[in-house]
Structure 1
């Protein structure tokens, strides 16, 4: 059996898939005539678009240059697809602004247009992530050891602001399975500052269903000091 290689995309893409689809559901359910609901949903949409924009930048800065060092020119299609996503993001942002300021008689049609175009953005992202997980991974695995791929990922994660890291964990942690979650947090416990690990625990406690949180506590053998409510709340 061929040993399983390290997949740099696996966890982050699970989080992004959840973020995309949950936001699409929220926009589809939104009553465009309810000012409060519309404001909340459009805020979630803007947060998603900001997140996606930064994700594109991170891959362009860290992952694609690594691919180019293995096969010069191989990432050109990825750069171009990312530019297409950047254009789609700008269009969705403008559509959201138009809806937020529209007269009541225009809101139904503008909301429907926004929903359909967001669905296209989600669909394009799902297809694109599959390509990254197959084509891009094959190139990375050809040119790098797992430790070297982990180093690329570490450089990317180290470039995130605390706010970006927290936003990422809020979507990754509830979107991955228990073995993935346990392995991820075990690695963080060993290699990250205590405050970062405690912050991740606070996010997990807030985002996971009670049964998943209890299972995680048991698997990690968390100490009473690590579970102190004030500590987790402060870190989160």
Structure 2
């Protein structure tokens, strides 16, 4: 009987995917001739680039070394993919620069189109890249480590995050995970974390989830916000 192994990529990758999807539709809906709209979209894409850069760095320094001895060619391949990802991120940064500095309405519209094309390329690459990590890389991790060892490494990575990074990634995890996954995640936090930490996560859920989903979560945890 096949068993479901622990996937250390799943939760953060669902957050990254959710942010990509949200950013894509936001860019499509933005009128770049309107300063307020454009400013919010530019900030969102800046946050996206920073999130992906930080995530890739953590994989390069804390995940790939786990399999460097067992699969050096595989690690080299995925590190090279991260270099490509960085190049695509730089194209996004360049497009953001154009959006900020455009003056005439036509320039602003053209800059917005450039940003959309750059984001399309970035999104397509990263969706394929994350799929590969969750198959080829994950298979290698499963051959070399137990679920307990992988969970311990995930916890070490989470512990290395700043409070701002934890809040940002947690928000997008809540946006990207299925409701049953959120409930399971929060039950583990409720059982293991200090009350003030759990309260912080519930406040994060209040920001990220719809009223209906928040109510479902509260009922599942027998919890209500003050």
TM-score bin (small chain): over 0.9
Partner in structure 2 of residue 126 of structure 1: 127
Aligned to 1:103, the other structure's residue is in SS state coil
- CA RMSD between the two structures: 1.3
| 1:193-218 C-alpha deviation (Å, 9 max, x unpaired) | 33322111111122111221111111
Return structure 1 stretches of 4+ with deviation > 6 angstroms.
none
Partner in structure 2 of residue 96 of structure 1: 96
Partner in structure 1 of residue 16 of structure 2: 16
8 Å contact kept, 2:190–2:198:
yes
8 Å contact kept, 1:174–1:204:
no
Partner in structure 1 of residue 159 of structure 2: 158
| 1:90-125 C-alpha deviation (Å, 9 max, x unpaired) | 221121012211121312222111101110100100
Give the deviation of 1:191 after TM superposition.
Answer: 2.8
Q: Does 1:144 align with 2:145?
A: yes
Q: Between Structure 1 and Structure 2, how many residues are aligned?
A: 225
Cα distance between partner residues in 2 of 1:81 and 1:27: 25
Cα distance between partner residues in 1 of 2:212 and 2:69: 45
Aligned to 2:28, the other structure's residue is in SS state helix
Partner in structure 2 of residue 232 of structure 1: none
Give the deviation of 1:159 after TM superposition.
Answer: 0.5
Show the 5 A alignment for 1:156-195: 156-195=157-196
Cα distance between partner residues in 2 of 1:157 and 1:62: 11
| 1:105-164 C-alpha deviation (Å, 9 max, x unpaired) | 312222111101110100100000100111111001001110000011011111000000
The higher relative CO (CA closer than 8 Å, separation ≥ 6) is in 2
8 Å contact kept, 2:171–2:208:
yes
Q: TM-score, normalised by structure 1?
A: 0.91
Cα distance between partner residues in 2 of 1:218 and 1:22: 28
8 Å contact kept, 1:99–1:107:
yes
Structure 2, unmatched stretches of 5+, are none
Distance 1:156 1:69, change over 3 A: farther
Cα distance between partner residues in 1 of 2:203 and 2:110: 41
